[in-house]
Chains A and B, each alone.
Chain A
Amino acid sequence: MFSTEITLKVVKPVVFILCLLPAMMLVYGFLTHNLGADPIQLMLKETGEWALRLLLATLAVTPIRHIFGWSSLIRIRRMLGLFSFFYALLHITIYITFDQSLDIVEIINDIFKRPFITIGVMSFLLMLPLALTSSNYAIRYLTGKKWKQLHQLVYLVGIGAVIHFLWLAQSKAYITEPLIYMTILAMLLLVRHPPIMQKLKR
């Protein structure tokens, strides 16, 4: 599809700016008092959803590479994964700061008391080793195989994030969105099944 050069010189910077836009809009909206009646709640929801969307985008890289023969797309995967982590970090920071006023005891209580918080925090913690070992140095240090095994944790992060959203919504009124993400995640996992991947490969 696109050459490595176009992927690196055109696609990557465009994707970089697109990934940054939601955060910039939130900051701008916040500073100009333009995020509605409950700006904190809106930022909490938006950062969480962008973390999930970008995680799914990260997981879509491999299938897209194979199906469309766009192998150089691998060059933007790390950036997508790190942006997902960036939004997840913003999400949990807003929760800790504004929802819990940095009260450690309250936060620990909340983690033990509410399953959707438990799984959300777990998913975030599983992202940490992935973000920390994303540098070229770490990849070399761990050698390819170990690095690959470690980064398969991303599937657990995805499942955990979707469950976090499903359990938060729960009621009929709000279930549609998390169900959409669940379906996309299921498709992205299914497509990795070797016989299916073989059929789709170009």
Chain B
Amino acid sequence: MLIKSPSDIKPSEITSESDYKNRRQFLQQMGKVAAATAITLGTTTQLTACQGATNTGMDLPEKYRDYPDITRHALSTKEKLTDYDSITSYCNFYEFGTSKSAPSFYSILMQTRPWTVEVEGEVEKPLTLNIEDILRRFALQEYVYRLRCVEGWSMVIPWVGFPLADLIKYCKPTSNAKYVHFVSLHNPEQMIGQKRDVLDWPYEEGLRIDEATHPLTIMSVGMYGNELLNQNGAPIRLVVPWKYGFKSIKSVVKLRFTEKQPVSTWTKSAEDEYGFYANVNPEVDHPRWSQGKERRIGEYFKRKTLLFNGYADQVASLYSGMDLHKHF
């Protein structure tokens, strides 16, 4: 039996469902007013596109419907959670378009069942894992992590997932496995953003094996006590909380264990702007903007960005002796 600590308040108890439903209805009405005004103006402004984000007609499932009794992992932050609406409507998922709101519209086309994850490369035996097997085999917990986007905003997200280390152990990598290379779904029929070559599809990411097996690194299958919504990377995605969000690859279909360092999609796209490590670091600026501060979604003023996104105590030792300005 699992014994919960007294501080373990279920976040579902914080905002009542009717409160956020009322807000959604209101937003939908407002979206219509805004759209009508924009049509009169004869313009297509980002304003309406963004207001549309909360006007998708998509009803969010009630929080903690799928995993009502999930326990919270000790590594979780106690900070205030970013609201469900924001996490599900403000997404960077270029596979569905480059605007923040596009994924919440267009990800509905993605089929997440059946879904398999291929495991290949430096492993004893290549595997094909079914998503159902994955959900059954690994113990799920809630991990409340800060997420810092390279663009300068951040959220606090209650993920549901399991340590990537558990999955790696199950894959039985050989001693040659120095890196894990992740690949996302490539299917332009289901991911209409892939019809534009804004990035070199499919999206790929990589971690050093010690980063991948770090206890903070998880594979997430859910959020706010529910299965992941498509716009958040369903059915399974990586979450590495001390790195910029683009490292946390979504809708993963392949894990390849390699001896050589993989090249990330964003590195391929602009290697002077996005490095392999992509550790959150206020001292190392992006060429076009400062990384010293971030806007926490839900707040108006910016706050200071912390080294390794506030996880320095846990992860700084992974990079001891490395020049973080060079290995950005």
Contacts and interface: CB of A to CB of B under 8 A. Distances in A.
A170 B272 CA distance: 13
Most chain B CB within 10 A, of A22, A37, A113, A171, is at: A37
Residues of A contacting B: mostly: helix
Contact of A171 (B27, B90, B269, B293): B269
A18 B198 CA distance: 35
Interface stretch (B12-20, B66-74, B134-142, B295-303): B295-303
B98 A25 contact: no
A42 B34 contact: no
B45 interface: yes
A149 interface: no
B153 interface: yes
A145 interface: no
B90 A36 contact: yes
B153 A114 contact: no
Interface residues of B, number: 38
Given A25-B34, A49-B45, A35 B51 contact: yes
A41 interface: yes
Contacts of A113: 285, 290
Contacts of A41: 153, 295
A37 B51 CA distance: 9
Given A98-B301, A114-B288, A172-B198, A36 B50 contact: yes
Nearest to B45: A46
Nearest to A167: B288
B163 to A, nearest CB: 29
Interface string B91-130: 0001000101100000000000000000000000000000
Interface string B153-179: 100000000000000000000000000
- For the complex of A and B, 9 pairs with smallest distance between CB atoms: A37-B90, A37-B86, A36-B50, A173-B98, A173-B198, A34-B30, A37-B297, A172-B198, A46-B47
30 contacts: A21-B41, A22-B41, A25-B37, A29-B30, A29-B47, A29-B51, A34-B30, A36-B51, A36-B54, A36-B89, A36-B90, A37-B53, A37-B85, A37-B86, A37-B298, A38-B297, A39-B300, A40-B300, A41-B153, A42-B46, A42-B50, A49-B45, A98-B301, A101-B302, A113-B290, A114-B288, A167-B288, A171-B269, A172-B197, A173-B198
Interface of B: 26-27, 30, 34, 37, 41, 45-47, 50-51, 53-54, 85-86, 89-90, 94, 98, 100-101, 153, 197-199, 269-270, 285, 288-290, 293, 295, 297-298, 300-302
